[in-house]
Amino acid sequence: MADERLKDSKANDGQIDDDRLNEEDYQEPDCRSENISEDITDTEIECLKKELQSEISELEWEFKQAKESLYNERIMQVENKLNQAKMGTAPEFLHVLSLVEETYKIRLQVAKHRMQFALEITNKELDNELQIIQCDVNERLLAAEEQIRLSLQESLCKLQYERAAHQRKASKGESIDLIYSMVYIFWKQYYLAICQKVLKLY
């Protein structure tokens, strides 16, 4: 136990000595720097100022050159964009143009389908109207035919009656020319009646 305590005390003493040496070494540069700062003369300070000013001037010149080069590059980019826009080859213009063309194609297809649908509806309506007109014309024709048939029957009955009467009169010595004139008048009236019926249908 005593030996261990001696070893610990020696180790602690050695550590303390090392700390002192480190503190002395740390303090020496400060003293040296103070000596160095005291040794710098005014001429050296002026030289340092000139060097710093020259470096600053050089940095300013480099910055100016970089600024001008960036400006010129930007101007060239803008001019290229303007030329592309005038020629219609700008990527942005082409992208918008492709979108417009695609939209136009879609709308054109929709318009075609709508037109076909409208034409189909119109054709169906026209067919219906034509069927209605055809039915109406057929009904009118049938009515006209029936009316003409009745008129003919009535006229034939009258003609037969008048013929019988004229036959009785002819047997008494009257001329048969009167019968022919009556037939001519009948057929003339019949023809005029048919023409009037046909004109009314149209």
Determine the Cα–Cα distance for residues 150 and 143; give it in Å rounded to an integer. 11
Determine the Cα–Cα distance for residues 166 and 182; give it in Å rounded to an integer. 10
Tell me, what's the pLDDT at 30? 47
Q: What angle do CA 180, 183, 184 make, to 5 degrees?
A: 85
Tell me, what's the pLDDT at 165? 73
Give pLDDT tens digits for 96-140: 888 999 999 999 999 999 999 999 999 999 999 999 999 998 898
pLDDT band for position 183 (cuts 50, 70, 90): low
Q: Note if the pTM is more than 0.85.
A: no
Give pLDDT tens digits for 25-77: 444 444 444 444 446 788 888 888 888 998 999 999 999 999 999 999 999 98
Determine the Cα–Cα distance for residues 130 and 126; give it in Å rounded to an integer. 6
